[in-house]
Amino acid sequence: MYTFTVARRDLGAYLHGYAGYVILSAALFITGLLFQVRGLGAGAQYSHDILETFFENCGGLVMITSILLTMRSLAEERQMGTDVLLFTSPASDLQVVLGKYLAALGVLTIMLALTVYMPALIFVNGKVSPAHIATGYLGLFALGSATIAIGIASSSLFKSQLPAGILAAVVVVTMLLGWMLSDKTDAPFTDVLAYVAYWDKHFTTFQEGRLHVRDLVYYGSITFIGLLFATKVQEGRRWA
Amino acid sequence: MIEVRNLTRYYGEFAALTDVSFKVTEGQVIGLLGRNGAGKSTTLKILAGLIPPSSGTVTVDGIDMVAEPHRLRSRIGYLPEDPPVYEDMTVTSFVRHIGRMKGMSASEVDARLPEVLATAALGGRENQVIGTLSHGYRKRVGIAQAVIANPRLVILDEPTSGLDPVQIRDMRKVIRDLAKGRVVMVSSHILREVEQTCDWLLVLRDGKLVAQGTEEALTADQNRKMQIVVRGDANTLVEWLTKHPAVEDAVTRPMSDGTTSAVVTLRADAREQLAADLIAAGFGLRELRGAGDALEEVFLGLASGKAGAA
């Protein structure tokens, strides 16, 4: 129950204030712009190539949006002193963190739902597999889930939004560069870095319409680790 | 109903609280006094369930704070000095949210909401966004969130700080009303506030509880001290005072206008007798009053460790 109470409060905060709408509007505007420039308006292309490009564009924006949404989550509670309300509530730290995660995921889901018209436009002059679309969106959702968890974990460490956002971005970018770094290192680091590659190794499969359980497990693991980290930081702060 | 036993809290090697014990029953407003660093905030944080004690126990209605903190948190309402509020929410939605966070069902919250808003004197502001409220009203919202779950213990840290005189007067009434059926613990630096709102005082110094009792009991000794101003010679006055059977000690000071001021400590509260005897002895009595603010004297004495009242 506490998880949903926290989620409802945070979702309200995103949607009652202007910040949530600004982030959503900007993300949707840029997605639409890229879809026109790199997709529909980029000359003759196969429909599935346009769809892959769409998911590629969306993936980048999902990561940026997730970081922007979550950098405030726990940091702002500390900054405003409202973390006292969480700490003096019977809610466990895990429930609080899960609530914040669900709220950010809710906003991201709204954003992704509002992009559906773009793949639908491909059907006007082309043909793509609905399964490809569904798999791509599942990948975006998984990528968003993991990035949100990283954002919340980072937000748990700071009292201010800005350093929280910067740290989350540094973590994500480092993981994005994993595939590049793996080429420059020796075993066993090569395999490790190749595996943790945030995008190249795990998202491109979704982008191409291929569903691998290992990729879902990967993003699920990142989500789990991020949320667990944030929970432990909160627990440490409550009993500090 | 609330029992604190041998409460001790260390921050590293530093003992912020040492062996503090007290017991309070419902219907009382408890005042926590002490200078900065005396251990007031640490005591309040432990009682609010924010930090655990290093040793000792806190029980509310028999529930142990350390063993069952989650269970106890719904029975405790806490308002820090700066009211923790979500500025983007309306008063009603915020208080409703806190009720849910305290484990109440939606129907329980709705049933209790009107009473809570009335207790916190928030009538007419129910649908106002908190960010647009004045500091005084935010304090009231803070009180509403602290009592929505009908807690057994309400902790108010400096509840009148930053309020104007009218708001302070209103807040006193709110605090008195809160004590019906529960314990209210108030921490304040303003002794006048504590004097006017609290039934029982706890005085902390260097993490130790150095005195506790009613204001009357703590200040009883101070009624033996008085300041007098008489027309007459200082030497004559001090000679007369030291011979008087009711006077324990007297310090005199000649004033520039020919009068003499004296701080007199009586063996018992014999103020009327001393006044009558002074006049009978031919001293022109200009002034006779208590030697300063009684509670302030006690507080300063206890807080600095120079006196041992009560």
Nearest by CB to residue B78, choosing from A9, A80, A88, is A88
Interface contact B10, partner A, CB < 8 A: no
Q: Would you give the DSSP letter of residue B39?
A: S
**Do the chains contact at A89 and B101, CB–CB below 8 Å?**
yes
Cβ contact B102–A90 (<8 Å): yes
Q: Read off the pLDDT of residues A107-133 as tens digits, 9 standing for 90 and up.
A: 999 999 999 988 888 888 888 889 999
Categorize the per-residue pLDDT at B111 as very low, low, confident or very high, splitting at 50, 70 and 90: very high
- How does DSSP assign A74-86, residue by residue? HHHHHHHTTHHHH
Burial label for A183, CB within 10 Å (0-12, 13-18, 19+), is exposed
Q: What is the per-residue pLDDT for B299?
A: 67
Neighbours of A221 (CB within 10 A): 13
Give the other-Cβ count within 10 Å of B13's Cβ: 5
User: Under an 8 A CB cutoff, do B82 and A9 touch?
Assistant: no
Residue B225: strand pairing partners: B265
**Tens digit of pLDDT for each residue in A138-156?**
999 999 999 999 999 999 9
Identity of the highest mean pLDDT range in A12-21, A145-154, B254-263: A145-154
**Cβ neighbours for A18, distance < 8 A, ≥ 6 positions apart:** none
- Could B51 and A85 be called an inter-chain contact, meaning their C-beta atoms sit closer than 8 Å? no
Q: How far apart are CA A113 and CA A137, in angstroms?
A: 9
**What token pair was written down for B211?**
């005195």
pLDDT of residue A67: 95
Q: Which of residues 151-170 of A touch B (CB under 8 A)?
A: none
* Contact B240/A at CB under 8 A: no
Bridge partner residues of B249 (DSSP): B265
pLDDT (average), residues B20-29? 90
Q: Which residues of B touch A86 (CB under 8 A)?
A: 101
Structural contact between residues A119 and A51, judged by C-beta atoms closer than 8 angstroms: yes
Find chain B residues with C-beta within 8 A of A5's C-beta. Answer: 97, 100-101
Whether B80 and B35 have beta carbons less than 8 Å apart is answered as no
Q: pLDDT tens digit string along B164-186? A: 888 788 888 888 888 888 899 99
pTM value is 0.81
pLDDT classification of B307: cutoffs 50, 70, 90 = very low
A147 or B275, which is more confident = A147
ipTM: 0.86
**Helix (H) / strand (E) containing A55:** helix A47-70
How far, CA to CA in Å, does A171 sit from each of A63, A68, A232, B27, B142?
Answer: 11, 14, 18, 54, 38
d(CA A34, CA A48): 16
DSSP state of A40: I
How far, in Å, CA of A46 to CA of B176, rounded?
Answer: 76
